[in-house]
Each structure stands twice: as C-alpha cells, then as structure tokens.
Structure 1
Amino acid sequence: MIKHLKYLLFLSLFVSACSTTKYLPANEKLYTGSSVKVEDKDIKKSDAKAISSELNATVRPQPNSSLLGLRIKLWLYYKTKARKGFIQKFFSKYGEPPVLTSQVNLEKNSTIMQNRLQNESYFQATVRGDTIGKKRTAKAEFIVNAGPSYTIRSVAFPVATDNSLDTAVRGTMKESLLKVGDKYNLDVIKSERIRIDARLKEKGFFFFAPEQLIIKVDSTIINHQVDLIVSIKPTTPERAREIYTIRNIYVYPNYSLRDTSLKLNQAQFYRWYNLIDPRKTAKPYLFANTVLLHPNDTYSRTTHNNSLNRFINLGPYQYVKNRFEDVTPDSPKLDVYYFLTPYKRKSLQLELLGRTTSASYTGSQINLNWKNRNAFKGGELLTVTLFASTDVQVGGSNGGFNVFQYGIQPSISWPRIIGPFNIKADNAYIPRTTLTLNYTSVVRSKLYSLNSFSGSFGYSFKTNVHKLNEFNLLEITYVKPRNVSDLYTDSINNPNNRNPALKHVIDPQFTWGPSYAYTFDNTTEDYRTNSIFYRGKVSLSNNIYGLLTGADTLGGKAKTFLGSTFNQYAKVETELRYFHKMGTGSKIAARVLVGVGLPYGNSTILPYNQQFFIGGPNSLRGFRARSIGPGTVDASSLNGGFIADQSGDIKLEANLEYRVKLFSIVYGALFTDAGNVWNAKPHQAGGTFGPNFLSQLAVDAGFGLRFDATVLVLRTDLGFPLVTPYSTNGASRSISPSFKNAILNIAIGYPF
C-alpha cells in the first residue's frame, strides 16, 4: 500500500510540475530558452559551434530552471504564492517567478551578440532574432551572419629613445600577447595593456596605469587583416613617466584606527627601516624578513606584494594596511608606510571531535589549545595542546578492546631560521624554525599501555608557491611499554596461532636522526587540465652512531645508548597524485604510494611507529583499517580472531577514482584500490618482500558519495574486496562482490 502511495505522490507531483503554464497571465507565453544558428558557410564547423555556444550564453534573461523537464521552482512559486502558512512561507524562498517571452528583448540581445562578434575579429557580423512559439511556450532564435574574421598582420611598439617610458614599453615586446596571424580580439588587447603595465611596475613606474596605453587598429589592410600600433597616450601625466625609488620605510606594529598621527619623531631606525612602536610590542629584528624593499631600491610591485604577504604570514598580525607617499617633487622618491593591526596576543580554544573507523571503532577527542602569537616579541608562536581521546568498538572482530589516549604537545615556531643556516629568499613565504615536543599515553583496555615521548627541531621554507622544503635536523622518538596484561602476553606466546605483530606493538622504540621532505603541489590552480601533487621524504636513524659503535644485532653485537637499545634504519617515502579534468564537474584522480624502510645494524625490523600500514577509508576501502599484510599473512586467522594492526617495512599502494558532480553539492565516485605491505627481512611466514610481490596485492573496488560544502566534505564510500593477498583453506584469493563483504567508510575530506 505504501509503495503505491509513493508512486501516486510522484505522479501527482510530475503532473503538477508539468502544468505550470496554466497559471500564466492572458496572452503571455512561458520563455523556454534560446538557440543560435550560424548561417555563414565560409566558417568552419568547429568555429560555428564555438560561436553558437558562446553567444547562446549571453542571452538574457535565462529561462526557468528545470530538473528532468520539471520546473520545480516555478511550481513552488505558484503553490506558495499568497499563502500564509508556515510550510508555504518556508518553501516560498525556493520558488522562482515565471520568465515570460515578453521579457526577452530580441533587439538588445542581438546587439550584444553583434558587439561580441566584432570584438572577436568578425567586424562585418550581423545578428537578427525572432521567437518560435507553441500554445503556451516560446523560445528565442537568433540567426548569425558572422562574415570574415580579421587576423593580425603586424604589431608595432614604440621606438626605443631617450624617453625611458618608451624604452621600457618596447622592452616588454618579446612577451607580447599580440601575435602575428592570430585573430583580432579586444579582450586580448585589454589583457596586453594590463600585462605591459605589470611589467612597467617592476621597473619603477609607480604611477603608470593601463589606461595610459593606446593600441590603435588599422583595419583597411587587404585580405581581412589588421595592423596594431602600441603607443603611449600624449595626455599621460609627467609623474607616470618617471621611475620611482624608495626613500624611507616606516613600520607600525601596533596600529589601530584611533591612531591619527604618524609619530615620525618616535621612529627607531633598524638596519634599513624605521620602527614606530611606543609600547615596545615587537623587537626591531622581527621585520627583517618581511620588509623586502630597501632605500634607493627601484620600486617593484612584486617585491612590494611579497612584503605584504610576509607581514600576514608572520602570524601576530591580523590586518596590514600600506601607503606610499610621493615625497620629493624635484626627484621621484617614495616613502613607504606599513600599518599592522595585531591579533589578540593570547587565546584559548576548545575542540570537540567525533569520528568513526572502518574497524568498527567510534570515538571522540577533546583538545584544549593555548596560543601566544608573539611570545617573546619576535613573532614566536607558542602553542600548548592538551588532548584526550577514546575509541570504543561497538562491534567487529577485535573483541571490544577499546583505545584511550591522552597527552600534551608544546611547540614553538619562529618566523626565521634559527641556527647556522642562511636561506635567502625574496618570495612571499617566510622560512620558519619549529621545535615540537610531545608526550602521549596509549591505553588499550585489557591489553597494554604505552608511554611515547617525541620531539623534533627543524626548518620549513618555500622556494615558490608550488615547492615546500622541510628539513628536520633532529627527530627523536622513545616508546616504552608501561603495563602489559597476561592476556596480551599469552596471545603473543600462543604456539598455535602466533602473530609477531602483537609483540612488535609493545617493543621498546628509540630513534633519533634527521629527515628531509620535499613537496610539489599545483592542484590549487583550478584552471589546469592536469595537475599533480608529489611528496618525497627521507628519514634516517642512528646511522653514524650505529656505524661507529659497530652495531650488528644478527652478529650478536646489539648496542645501547643511555641504557636503551636504539633503532637503526634508512627510510624513503614517496607519494604521487595526478588529477585530470574531463569536463565540467568530472575528473580522474590517481595516486601511487611507495615506501621502503631498510633496517640494518642494530635493527632487523623498523620500529612500529615507523612502519607502514594499509587499508581503511583513506587507503584500501574494501578492507578494514590496518588489516592487510604483511605479504600473504591472514591476520584474521591468528589470535582467535583478534586482528592486530598489521604493519610492514615496505609499502606499495595505487588508487584510481572517477569523480563526477551529480547535483548541487553532491558528487559521486567510482574507485578501485590495490596494495599491500611487506617486511624487508624474514620475520613471519609469507610476510617477506620477494619477486612475486605483484601477485600478493589486495584489490578492491566500489562507489561513493561526497557532500562537498567547500568548508567541509563528508564522504561515504562502499568498498568491495575483490582479491585478497591470502587464500583460506586452499580457496581462491578472488572474492565475488557482495554486500555481505562490503565495507562502509564514513570520513571527512577526500581520500586523496
């Protein structure tokens, strides 16, 4: 009965939405859209199609929106019009009044199209419009005779003379957007003026403007060609022709709108700039990395913009206002003023988080963050975070062994390089030095508890907008078990189904050494058809100390440092993501991850916190988190069904995903994943990396929805395991897709 009611409701809605024309005023027709036909036979079909598509987009007004032929918004408009009920008022804001044919001005639209064509080289174009009507609806039709297109025969720039402005304009000629043989295009001409102006701003022409350039067009040339002549308008004022240099620079670190006086008599000179800070809120050296302009420098817009970006990226300042003042009429000089409005120096923030994992854990976390944005008046960001979390398993295969964590993480970040290194850069990005400490207590109920101490000291700097370098001089980690239950110990020592991964989790870990990571990312540039993200990282631990002491665990020469056995390894991680736009709202996304850790000397396996894991919502979505590997090991058959987090020294993973916009903020995806982890040296039967590694890959496929609200992306993926790395009782490794085996992943953000 309910099923029939659903069909009846949908049918009634369909009929109602289709019959919106019955509400139209007398002698009016509903406007249903437009079409543009190009009748010129001399135009290529591809050009005619492009012209038709471009001009059709200029027609105004737009017709009423529809979904599958149903004008839902128009129907809502009529149904809620003049209604006073709450429901009617609620839905009325989604309604849309009818667009009538009488509202379409054919002559005005034709003129706009004709002007557009003339601006794009079709000087002889004509457009005429008409309406084609039915009983209650009508559409607009426009007929285009474009005529021949005009191409550029020559481009002339000013001749280099003693006039510095003429010479500077001519110096930009090699990078001109105006190319011989291209079609005439007014938008390109406007862009050329902006380009020339931008180049002149790098040469000190502070008061020049694009409007002071004129590009003359001679269209009397035979064979439908034009000559373009770039010149400077005679009315250009004298100061726009001058090259300006910098005289004095003033920085106000504690500016507010109530400040009305420049207080130049209180200026404190430091190196090449002046600090006006009566309350002593900042150390003078704070701005040495941000004030990139110097006295007697020729004005450069790029250098100026980079300085503004650096002021914002310093951290303590919320707003930056800038002013240039023409100070010497007898010679072109500028005084520069930077007015900085600070944030509140100290802040306290409470965060409450909720999460769920594919291993049937539901968790929450609380973070208490205290920040001091200018701790020692040198732009230092001092942060102290207290955190606690709990992950409770309400079902699944891990027997309800819940996980609790708590800890503290203090850190300090300096907006400069601290130490013997000198990184010179004049871009928009400030190099930083960061010191971080961390203590975490991990408690897995009924099993074990661990103490984890870590710290790092290093640098991060960007050479340009795409390239990030992160160099840690020292990373230290010390993990030691605090308590291990008899239940867990018995699981480790069980001779029937022993799993070395259980013991490795609680092994003491002591690592220290440097690391370097390089990241290239141009995925934020939406105009690109193809974009990539690449990250590579190299980590070392105790390499020199291990060699000097002759550490060799396999040879019976295990060494210690400060009474603790240390880990020795070299580790390389790489990740490459590739994105290809296929059209409006659809793209192909691919990712490859390769990680290799080589334990040696004092270690035969990577420490647990440095190993690789696979599976879960951001990895292999058809398998539970950290449940795959190493190699052909079937973790579910060990320890009575308790699945420890499986790990390895080597990782290989690949993901392929097709993403498409369905409607509004809803996106769909089809995906497939493959990968596994392995040990570098024999520790567990079937878990060592070997020549047959490709046949040991786990494979899954599935589909999902993404709700992309820009500031937050909620993702649901349903993954189906297709191939496992192991076989059960001699059965095939292949699995027939079924909802019984499917894994539902709910996560925040895209998987990559």
Structure 2
Amino acid sequence: MLIRKPLPKYKGTYILPLLLMLLLSSGCSVTKVVPEGRALFWEYDVKVKGEKDSSNRSADLETELSQTVRPKPNASILGLRPKLAIYNAFYTEKEKGLKHWIMTKLGEPPVLYSELDTATVSQIMSSRLHNRGYFNNTVSSTTTIENKKASVSWTAKIGEPYRFRKIAYTLNDSLPVHRDIEQTREESLLQTGEPYDLATMTAERVRIDGVLKNEGYYFFSPELLIYSADTTVGEPGERLVDVVLRVKNAASAKALQPYTLDDIFIFANYSVGDSLATNDTIDYKGYHYIPNENYVRAKHLLRGVFLEQDSLYTREEHLLTTKRLNAFPAYKFVNIEYEVDTVENNALDAFIYLTPALKKSLRAEAQMVSKSNGFSGPGINVSFQNKNAFKGSELLSVDFTGTFESYVGGRGSGPAPEGIEPTGNQNLTSYEISAKASLTIPRILSPFNLRNLRTEFAPQTRIGVGASLLNRVGFFQMNSFSATYGYNYRPTQTLTIDVTPINLQYVQLANTTPEFDKYLDRNPFLERSFENQFIVGSIYQLTYSTQVFEDRTNQFFDRLILDLSGNSLNAFQSVTGFPPPTDEEPRTIVGNRFSQYVLVDNDFRHYLNFGEESQLVTRLVVGAGFALGNSTTLPYVKQFSVGGPNSIRAFRARSIGPGAYRDTAQVTSFSFFDQVGDIRLVGNLEYRFPITGFFKGAVFMDAGNIWLFRDELNDDGEPIRPGGTFDSSGFLNQLAIGTGFGLRVDVEFFVLRFDIGIPVQVPHLPKGERNVLKDFNGSFSGENSMVLNIAIGYPF
C-alpha cells in the first residue's frame, strides 16, 4: 500500500537537518552525564604479538579475544553514538514521563570505565589462548584517559603453539564399542602436526558420539570420553603434546552396548494426560497403531516413519522420523521416547506420541486500501483451513477475497485519455472478487509407484483451482479461471524444487464499454494482451537459500523461475497438420487463442550480517519473457512491472516505464491498466539496523525499469510507446532510481513496515533533466516529493 500525505513544507524541509545536527553534535555531548572523576569506556583494541608463531593465526585470535571484552562500549554508527546522544539529550532523574521514556527506550546509558574489570578480562583472554595451544602466554592492558574518555589496549604475547605429536586411543578392551570407535579414526578431527586446540578436541568427542549413535549406542554420550595430555614429550623446546583418548572407567554397561528396535507404538491421537492403554490397537505392517484410524490413516502416516522393528537404533532414523512427522499439518507436536525392552535387555521399545493440531480454522481480515492514484476502499479476506481433510494430513485451504475501490480525487485528477469519454460518474468504482481452493498432500501422487524418499522434508503434491472477477466500472470486466497440479520437493535444507507440470489459465475480457473498445482499437498490442486466451503450460522453480543457517555471516538466496505456455500444444498442432498461425488467424483451442511464450525470471539476494542484528542486503532481479509462434505479445497477466513497496519505493506501483516512455493518462483517474513490459531489471541495496526493542531502522537505494523487446506500432507505423524498447547501450540512463529510509516494527511473527522513498532519477524526463534530487521539495506533496510506503513484512 502506498500513500501520499500532504505535509507542511517547513516540517519536511527542516526535520532532516535537525536530525543530522543531533547526530553530529553527539560527539561533544557523550560525556554530559558522566560523573566527575569517572570516565566513559570509549573504545578498545586487542593486539596479538607472535613473531615466532608459525601458525599465522594472529588475526583470528584478535577477533576471538575481542569478543571476551565485557561490557562493550556504547553502540556506534560511523563513529557516532546516536543512542548515547539521545540518552544525554533527554536525561532526567524522574522515573516517568515522556523524557524518561525516550531516555530509557530510545537511548542508552553511558558505559563507564569503572564497570570494566581489565584484570579479569586479561585472565579470560589468557585462558582462551591456553585452549588454543599457547600454554605460555602473557596478556596485559594499558588504559589512556582523556577528556573523560577511556581507551583500553590489550596486548597478548605468544610464541609457537604446542602441536599434536601423537594421538592414541586406549582401546584394549574387547567390548564392541571400542572396535566401533577404532573404525572412526580415519575421520578424526585431530591430526598430528596441527596446533593443540581444545575446541577441536571437544568437537572430536561429539563426532565420535554421533557415529556411535548411528551404530545403536542409544545411551552413549560425549562425556563418557576423556583425554589425557602429556607435554613433556620430545626434545626440550619442541613444544609437542601427546594425547590419549579413552572411555571412562565409570561408563555403565548399557552405555557401551548397541540396541535394536523391538516394538514400535504409534499414538496417533495423543493428548497430554492421556492414559497409555493399548486398547483398540491396530497392528499394521509390524507397527502398533493406537487407538484407531479415525484421525490419520496408518498407511499415510507410516510414510513419515523410518523406525523399523528388528533394525539397529540410529539417531539418523530418529531425527528423520521426527522431522517428517513434524511436517504433517495434522499434528502440532511430535515426541519419540525409548525404553529398554522388558524381555530383551539389548532391545528398545519406541513410543511415538503425536499431538493433533487444531483441525479446522476460519479467519477473516478486513483492510483499508489507499493508493496514490486516487483510489481507496475497503477489502476483506476470509480463509478456511482443514489440516486433515481426507484422513491423510492433507491441508485444504479455501480463500475468498474482495476489494472495493472508489475514486476520491487528489493527485490523479485530469482529462480523459484520447478516445475515452468521461463516464459521468465522478466516484469511479472498481472491485475485484476472487475465490481460490488448494489441496496440499504430504506425499507424491503419481500414476507410477514411487519409492518413499528418505529426505528430511516430506515431498508434497499441490492441487489448486481458482476464479477471479475484476470489474472496472465504466470500462471493462475481466474474468480469470485457473487450475494447477504440481509437486514440491526439498532434497536438502538449502534446495527446493517446485514443478508444476499442469498450469491452466483462461482470461476473458467481458462487458467492455464502447469507449474502452475504441481505445483498444488504437492500441493493437494492448488489445492482444487483453484478448480472451488460454495459458496452457508448465512452471518450473528452483530455489537455493542458506538463510536456514542463522549464524552465518554471509547468506544467499536465489530463485529461478521458468514459465512456459503453448509450446507443446503448438508443436502438436504443427505435427498434426494445422495451418501456420498468423495475427489474423491464430491457432486456437475451443475457439480461443492460446498464448505461446517463454519466460525466465531470477531473484538473487545476498545478506551480510554483522554486529547485533545489523544487516546489509543486496538484491538483483532480472527477468525476460518472449512471445513466439502463436503470440506476438505476452498476456497482460504475465508481463513485468516495477515500482511500489517491494520494488522501487520512490515510485508508485506499476508506474515506471517501459524505458523512457511516459503515459500521460497514467496520472489521471482513467488509469485502468498499468505499465508493463517484456524485460525487467531491478536492483536494491538496503542497510538494516536495530534501534531499540522491536523497532528496526533501514536506509536503502533502489533502481530499475522495464522494457519492451520490440516496438509496438500503430496502424500508421508509429511506436505506441516511444522510448520503451530495450537498448543495451543506453538502458542504464533509463533506470528509475530512488533512495530513502524506513522504520520497521518487528515483533517476530509480524512486521509492520514504513518506508519513505525519495526520487533521484526519473527515466521519462528529457536527457539532462532526469536527476531530480536537486529539486527535492522535502514534503509529501507535489513533484519530486517523498513517498510513504506502508506494508506488511520485509521487502525482500
């Protein structure tokens, strides 16, 4: 949603300089409330001096040691400390009131040097170095205080680290666990010649435990492994260490033996507090299914169970079963417990407890839409869900949506386009009503008997149907009907494959007025994109994302979409002897043209995480669609557009381009269609940072446009949209560019976003006049003004 709101110009003109002055003045006001005789903990640095250290780890060690400093100095941005400046500017000893709220919620109290215990920090740093093999190290600190600001420098002196000379496993016992540990040595994380490292030694214990857990050792744990280290080996001064790994003598017998699975009980409708009686138990393929199949049928549920009777217990099968069952919409909680069998002491009984989720839900949402083109009105969305529609944990969703808009004036008034007669209704009304039903099945439905895929994420089959009606009163009505059948498969945490082999859509233009028909007659390419037609094809989508690894500094996201329509159908008609298609006589099915095109779209994003919750996001979107064969233009519903809250935020949604073209009708109340094209290029750069609590801030820059592959000519052979075709030598000068800043209210499950966009370059203006930043008026009204975008969720 994009809103332009009038604002007195002096406020928009002076608010930004005032904020800038506050930030610039923060350098001289940071010590305002520091008590006399005290100092502000201003900054610190850590240096590691190891001239004789051949491991070349000084830079990594400095980073690691810097993280041990507590407390940290006040947060800074580009050398400024705005939160501390706010605290000082609004400082008050009162415990309530507006100033107190701003001081405590938006500000940050000064971190005093007296709160820092340099000796303790030095001891922690020394311990860290000891753990990294520097058994002989010294850490010292020096403090400089000037103008009530304290700067601390830590210096760590190290030499050559101790290195592993020999790594031995004391496994002289005949127990099976010792043989199984010995077999893992080739994969050991400990290597002779490498520096001693306690973290690596700990990770080696965890690795061995993971291997044993997949060999049946259910009761084993990393704590049962212990190291012995000898630093007296080798020649004097060599700094070598021999390490011996063994199993503790106190380890219990049950921890040192592997287990197989015996009875497997599945409580398919479990609630906390239920008795665990096995009445009405169904024995199905070796499983005890309790109590019955009145909720989810066993044959469907067992596709998510990978525990098998008489098989060796493995953690891998346990985790796989847990994750697959958690993916079933019918269940809210999944818990698996094991008990030693009462008859066989080397066997486990497994108990799978499945707690149902709320099966049916009905949700209604009301909204108010206000657009910068002068339209506003209410909207409503009603959604129904059944999470176990056919006793197979199928998710059935039915959505009804209605939006109603009326023209209420404002920026957008003006004369009607040539060929259009005013309707006489100053409250120009449009409405859109749609209904969509989708069924998501947590398994593959196929005419072929496919094996059950052993992946963490259950493959899904998706079936959907929908219909919508768009009515622009006084102009046209557009009906759309769709049906899809596809599969979703996620072989790994980072890769998702979405295949929709059947994608059917029928678009019908109905109830057009004579005035609108005249306008289409003057624009043949526009007429073809609006005409009744079938979209018959497939959609293939590949998504790669590392955002599941939240602790990574660099995260990547890339989504590639291939959308095809009419190609197979056109080839079939060619083989079966249909005449070649022409503009006047296209090929049809059931009397209507079908679209033929190839469309590719790629959305790439990079997230650079640094500091606490700070993030630099880069995004590049490139797309192109080419009509061929039976079509001379892409269907209107498949063409690209840019602008708006999730694209280029300094411009209205769908208002940019194509290229340097400007439709003078677009700023009027008669904007019954938006600017679209065959090629899309959008780039975004956004810096996100925390403010306080759930308030987040952002500054951004957006750029992009759309273009046509070829000129659209009218009957006189003149371009209908001059300047709209793509030119590889000049497209950069046709980019719409905007910048701005934003505030986000992020409460984890919900994000409310306010972004203010400021235009920098307007592509439809004459060359030499496209840079409009110098004419920025600092308000929300008029030309070259700010644009307020209100939206739900992050833009990308």
Pairwise TM-score range, normalised by the shorter structure: 0.7 to 0.9
Q: Tell me what 1:647 maps to.
A: 676
Give the one of 49, 56, 67 matched to 1:57.
67
Q: Tell me what 2:740 maps to.
A: 704
Deviates more, 1:120-129 or 1:71-80: 71-80
Q: Tell me what 2:441 maps to.
A: 414
Q: Tell me what 2:627 maps to.
A: 598
- How far is the alpha carbon of 1:575 from its aligned partner? 0.5
In the alignment, does 2:787 pair up with 1:744?
yes
User: Aligned partners of 2:646, 2:384: CA distance in 1, in Å?
Assistant: 30
In the alignment, does 2:218 pair up with 1:206?
yes
Deviates more, 1:499-508 or 1:204-213: 499-508
Deviations 1:280-326 (A, max 9, x none): 22222231221122112222212211211221211011111221112
- How far is the alpha carbon of 1:163 from its aligned partner? 4.3
Asked whether the equivalents of residues 604 and 681 of structure 1 are also in contact (C-alpha less than 8 Å), the reply is no
Q: Tell me what 2:277 maps to.
A: 263
SS at structure 2 position matched to 1:288: helix
- The structure whose RCO (Cα within 8 Å, separation 6+) is larger is 2
Deviations 1:538-576 (A, max 9, x none): 4233345544461533186544433x3131424232304
Paired letter, 2:736: D
- How far is the alpha carbon of 1:508 from its aligned partner? 0.9
- How far is the alpha carbon of 1:74 from its aligned partner? 6.8
Paired letter, 1:507: E
Asked whether the equivalents of residues 90 and 99 of structure 2 are also in contact (C-alpha less than 8 Å), the reply is no
- How far is the alpha carbon of 1:148 from its aligned partner? 3.4
- How far is the alpha carbon of 1:616 from its aligned partner? 3.9
Give the one of 530, 537, 547 matched to 1:513.
537
Q: Tell me what 1:20 maps to.
A: 33
Deviations 1:580-609 (A, max 9, x none): 6385435351314233333324x3333322
Asked whether the equivalents of residues 36 and 56 of structure 1 are also in contact (C-alpha less than 8 Å), the reply is yes
Paired letter, 1:707: L
Q: Tell me what 2:337 maps to.
A: 323
Deviates more, 1:301-310 or 1:40-49: 40-49
Q: Tell me what 1:149 maps to.
A: 161
Paired letter, 1:304: H
Deviates more, 1:318-327 or 1:229-238: 229-238
Q: 1:182 to 1:538 in 2, by over 3 A?
A: farther
Q: 1:633 to 1:252 in 2, by over 3 A?
A: same
User: Aligned partners of 2:171, 2:55: CA distance in 1, in Å?
Assistant: 42
Give the one of 449, 459, 473 matched to 1:431.
459
Q: Tell me what 1:387 maps to.
A: 401
TM-score normalised per structure 2: 0.80
Q: Tell me what 1:230 maps to.
A: 245
Asked whether the equivalents of residues 666 and 705 of structure 1 are also in contact (C-alpha less than 8 Å), the reply is yes
Q: Could you list the runs of 5+ residues in structure 2 that have no partner in the other structure?
A: 1-9, 415-426, 777-782
User: Aligned partners of 1:150, 1:617: CA distance in 2, in Å?
Assistant: 57
- How far is the alpha carbon of 1:736 from its aligned partner? 2.5
TM-score normalised per structure 1: 0.85
Asked whether the equivalents of residues 621 and 673 of structure 1 are also in contact (C-alpha less than 8 Å), the reply is no
Paired letter, 1:701: I
SS at structure 1 position matched to 2:269: coil
Paired letter, 1:248: D
Q: Tell me what 2:592 maps to.
A: 565
Q: Tell me what 1:283 maps to.
A: 297
SS at structure 2 position matched to 1:437: strand
Asked whether the equivalents of residues 403 and 442 of structure 1 are also in contact (C-alpha less than 8 Å), the reply is yes
Q: Tell me what 2:523 maps to.
A: 499
Q: Tell me what 1:123 maps to.
A: 135
In the alignment, does 2:124 pair up with 1:112?
yes
SS at structure 2 position matched to 1:18: coil
Deviations 1:172-214 (A, max 9, x none): 3343332444322212211221122122222222111011122
Deviations 1:81-115 (A, max 9, x none): xx465447646754877766665445433332221
- How far is the alpha carbon of 1:12 from its aligned partner? 11
User: Aligned partners of 1:694, 1:524: CA distance in 2, in Å?
Assistant: 40
SS at structure 2 position matched to 1:609: helix
- How far is the alpha carbon of 1:461 from its aligned partner? 1.8
Q: Tell me what 1:611 maps to.
A: 639
SS at structure 1 position matched to 2:211: helix
In the alignment, does 2:375 pair up with 1:375?
no
User: Aligned partners of 1:446, 1:395: CA distance in 2, in Å?
Assistant: 20
User: Aligned partners of 1:6, 1:523: CA distance in 2, in Å?
Assistant: 38
Deviates more, 1:738-747 or 1:438-447: 738-747
Q: 1:523 to 1:552 in 2, by over 3 A?
A: farther
Give the one of 328, 339, 351 matched to 2:365.
351
Deviates more, 1:340-349 or 1:61-70: 61-70
Deviations 1:155-183 (A, max 9, x none): 34567996432333233334333244432
Q: Tell me what 1:240 maps to.
A: 255
Q: Tell me what 2:707 maps to.
A: 676
User: Aligned partners of 1:670, 1:457: CA distance in 2, in Å?
Assistant: 39
Asked whether the equivalents of residues 160 and 170 of structure 1 are also in contact (C-alpha less than 8 Å), the reply is no
Q: Tell me what 2:755 maps to.
A: 716
Q: Tell me what 2:504 maps to.
A: 476
Deviations 1:124-167 (A, max 9, x none): 12335676667977666655433432233343456799643233
Asked whether the equivalents of residues 152 and 181 of structure 1 are also in contact (C-alpha less than 8 Å), the reply is yes
User: Aligned partners of 1:325, 1:595: CA distance in 2, in Å?
Assistant: 59
User: Aligned partners of 1:302, 1:565: CA distance in 2, in Å?
Assistant: 54
Deviates more, 1:412-421 or 1:58-67: 58-67
User: Aligned partners of 1:17, 1:619: CA distance in 2, in Å?
Assistant: 39
SS at structure 2 position matched to 1:264: coil
SS at structure 2 position matched to 1:169: helix
User: Aligned partners of 2:708, 2:649: CA distance in 1, in Å?
Assistant: 15
Asked whether the equivalents of residues 615 and 626 of structure 1 are also in contact (C-alpha less than 8 Å), the reply is yes
Paired letter, 2:738: G
Deviates more, 1:363-372 or 1:608-617: 608-617
Q: 1:121 to 1:694 in 2, by over 3 A?
A: same
Deviates more, 1:354-363 or 1:444-453: 354-363
Paired letter, 2:558: F
Asked whether the equivalents of residues 628 and 676 of structure 1 are also in contact (C-alpha less than 8 Å), the reply is no
Paired letter, 2:772: P
Asked whether the equivalents of residues 441 and 451 of structure 1 are also in contact (C-alpha less than 8 Å), the reply is yes
- How far is the alpha carbon of 1:742 from its aligned partner? 6.2
Asked whether the equivalents of residues 76 and 91 of structure 1 are also in contact (C-alpha less than 8 Å), the reply is no
User: Aligned partners of 1:85, 1:631: CA distance in 2, in Å?
Assistant: 56
User: Aligned partners of 2:451, 2:743: CA distance in 1, in Å?
Assistant: 42
In the alignment, does 2:431 pair up with 1:404?
yes
Asked whether the equivalents of residues 621 and 700 of structure 1 are also in contact (C-alpha less than 8 Å), the reply is no
Deviations 1:474-500 (A, max 9, x none): 22212222311222123223xxxx333
Asked whether the equivalents of residues 282 and 292 of structure 2 are also in contact (C-alpha less than 8 Å), the reply is no
User: Aligned partners of 2:587, 2:48: CA distance in 1, in Å?
Assistant: 83
- How far is the alpha carbon of 1:531 from its aligned partner? 2.2
- How far is the alpha carbon of 1:685 from its aligned partner? 5.0
Q: Identical aligned pairs, as a percentage? A: 25
User: Aligned partners of 1:181, 1:645: CA distance in 2, in Å?
Assistant: 67
Q: 1:623 to 1:118 in 2, by over 3 A?
A: same
- How far is the alpha carbon of 1:15 from its aligned partner? 8.1
SS at structure 2 position matched to 1:21: coil
Deviates more, 1:86-95 or 1:521-530: 86-95
Asked whether the equivalents of residues 26 and 82 of structure 2 are also in contact (C-alpha less than 8 Å), the reply is no
Deviations 1:617-659 (A, max 9, x none): 44455654334555675433799995532334x3242425253
SS at structure 1 position matched to 2:324: helix
In the alignment, does 2:347 pair up with 1:333?
yes
Give the one of 511, 514, 517 matched to 1:489.
517
Give the one of 576, 589, 604 matched to 1:577.
604
Q: 1:581 to 1:696 in 2, by over 3 A?
A: closer
Aligned pairs, how many? Answer: 734
Deviations 1:710-751 (A, max 9, x none): 541625253546474x7x8xx538723333446736253444
SS at structure 2 position matched to 1:79: coil
Deviations 1:654-691 (A, max 9, x none): 42525353755212223433542435997885579989
Deviates more, 1:218-227 or 1:205-214: 218-227
